[in-house]
Amino acid sequence: TFTPNAFVEEVIADMKAKIGNDKVVLGLSGGVDSTVAAVILNKAIGDNLYCIFVNNGLLRKNEFENVLNQYKGMGLNVKGVDASQRFYDALAGLDDPEAKRKAIGNAFIEVFDDEAHQLTDVKFLGQGTIYPDVIESVSATGGPSATIKSHHNVGGLPDFMKLQIVEPLRMLFKDEVRRVGRSLGIDEELLGRHPFPGPGLAIRILGDITPEKVAILQEVDAVFINGLKEHGLYDKVWQAGAILLPVNSVGVMGDERTYEKVVALRAVESTDGMTADWVHLPYEFLMKISNEIINNVRGVNRVVYDISSKPPATIEWE
Ligand code: XMP
């Protein structure tokens, strides 16, 4: 049986032996895997671990600031890089889902490479790869490995990819990563976070991306996610989020006719994201959230709930 404490002790010793006095650079995503990997490496090599946390302008509301502060509070040597504009520029005018993913992946690699270049004598690239990523090496769910693969086909490798790789979680399943995180004293809220896709809100804004659309969706998403938390529903749901649809619908506000955006809410139950069922959220809850969104988020006058399961629908809309 798996014992988190024994694993931690062993992996720290391994990492120390492998890395010695060399430097490691690691990209933090705000997710469980990269965070646990970083805390382990930090315990093994201290400030020789250089973490980079990129704001791609496509994160949830206030996520960049909150998570960056959380990381600093955990004693990680982390640099926050706000590259939002660079991502918006790369996305401008793109409406094809795969083109959007590719643009985001390439922008991420460029930003990370720029940052890694500013560090001297780095020898290793740390990654939060877990066992399911290893088996599913061409990952259908994207993430760093898929990003790197699609870039790989495009041309030469960025410098940071010539580094040797260290993957402390390579043998673990997701629930084991959470248990390890818990034994390391990582905040329960961080360990219990819903999965969030690397391309972020860009694949929940159907069609082209603008900072204005991102701002609207961030507000809607925050109402929904905070509502789930307040009603004790967040932990009963595997993943949830909102989608900004590329259509306007007619509504009425006071005496005025409105013609504004429609958003869809999605909440699913799943174990691994490969299959998923929509969650039967209470009607009362949906009513409250719908009112709160329409009353508080300018530019939205209609809310719908996604009742599609995977397959044949996917969890994300793009
Ligand atoms: P789908 O939409 O394929 O999503 O049912 C399954 C899970 O994967 C996440 N997802 C992604 N994660 N890059 C990622 O890092 C991506 O391009 C991507 N597309 C989907 C999705 O959020 C869900 O958890």
Same domain, 158 and 260: no
Q: Is residue 44 one of the residues assigned to a domain? A: yes
314 Cβ inside 6 Å of ligand 1: yes
Same domain, 184 and 235: no
Q: Which distant-in-sequence residues (6+ apart) come within 8 Å of 300 by Cβ? A: 216, 220, 260, 261, 262, 263, 293, 294
Known binding-site positions for ATP: 29-35
Q: Write the secondary structure of 196-214 as one string of H (helix), E (strand) and C (coil).
A: CCCCHHHHHECCCCCHHHH
Token pair of 145, please? 């490995």
The Å distance, Cα 71 to ligand 1 centre, comes to 24
State residue 43's pLDDT score: 98
Q: Is residue 201 one of the residues assigned to a domain? A: no
Question: By residue range, what is the domain housing residue 51?
Answer: 4-191
Residue 58 is given by DSSP the state -
Q: Is residue 150 one of the residues assigned to a domain? A: yes
315 Cβ inside 6 Å of ligand 1: yes
pLDDT tens digits for the chain (318 residues)?
899 999 999 999 999 999 999 999 999 999 999 999 999 999 999 999 999 999 999 999 999 999 999 999 999 999 999 999 999 999 999 999 999 999 999 999 999 999 998 999 999 999 999 998 888 764 444 444 444 444 444 446 788 888 999 999 999 999 999 999 999 999 999 999 999 999 999 999 999 999 999 999 999 999 999 999 999 999 999 999 999 999 999 999 889 999 999 999 999 999 989 999 999 999 999 999 999 999 999 999 999 999 999 999 999 999
Q: Which atom of ligand 1 is nearest to the CA of 239?
A: 24
The H or E element containing residue 305 is strand 300-305
290 Cβ inside 6 Å of ligand 1: no
Same domain, 217 and 277: yes
Q: Which amino acid does the sequence have at 126? A: G
State residue 211's pLDDT score: 98
Pocket test for ligand 1, best of 141, 194, 274 (most atoms within 8 A of CB): 141
Q: Is residue 49 one of the residues assigned to a domain? A: yes
Stated pTM of the model: 0.91
30 Cβ inside 6 Å of ligand 1: no
Token pair of 96, please? 């094809």
Same domain, 21 and 120: yes
Domain boundary among 125, 156, 191: 191
CATH of the domain at 117: 3.40.50.620
State residue 162's pLDDT score: 86
Q: Is residue 315 one of the residues assigned to a domain? A: no
Residue 31 is given by DSSP the state S
Same domain, 149 and 217: no
Q: Is residue 311 one of the residues assigned to a domain? A: no
Same domain, 26 and 136: yes
CATH of the domain at 263: 3.30.300.10
Same domain, 175 and 42: yes
Same domain, 13 and 147: yes
**Does 312 sit behind a cis peptide bond, omega within 30 degrees of 0 on the bond before it?**
yes
Contact 53, 68 (CB under 8 A): yes
Same domain, 284 and 235: yes
CA 179 to chain centre: 20
141 Cβ inside 6 Å of ligand 1: yes
Q: Which atom of ligand 1 is nearest to the CA of 316?
A: 2
Domain boundary among 191, 223, 244: 191
Domains in the chain: how many in total?
Answer: 2
- Please tell me the distance from the alpha carbon of residue 66 to that of residue 85, in angstroms, as a whole number: 20
- Please tell me the distance from the alpha carbon of residue 184 to that of residue 39, in angstroms, as a whole number: 8
Same domain, 294 and 240: yes
In three-state secondary structure terms, 310 is strand
Same domain, 93 and 135: yes
State residue 156's pLDDT score: 62
Give the number of other Cβ atoms within 10 Å of residue 100's Cβ: 22
Give the number of other Cβ atoms within 10 Å of residue 96's Cβ: 12
Same domain, 97 and 145: yes
Closest Cα to residue 196, out of 236, 233, 238? 238
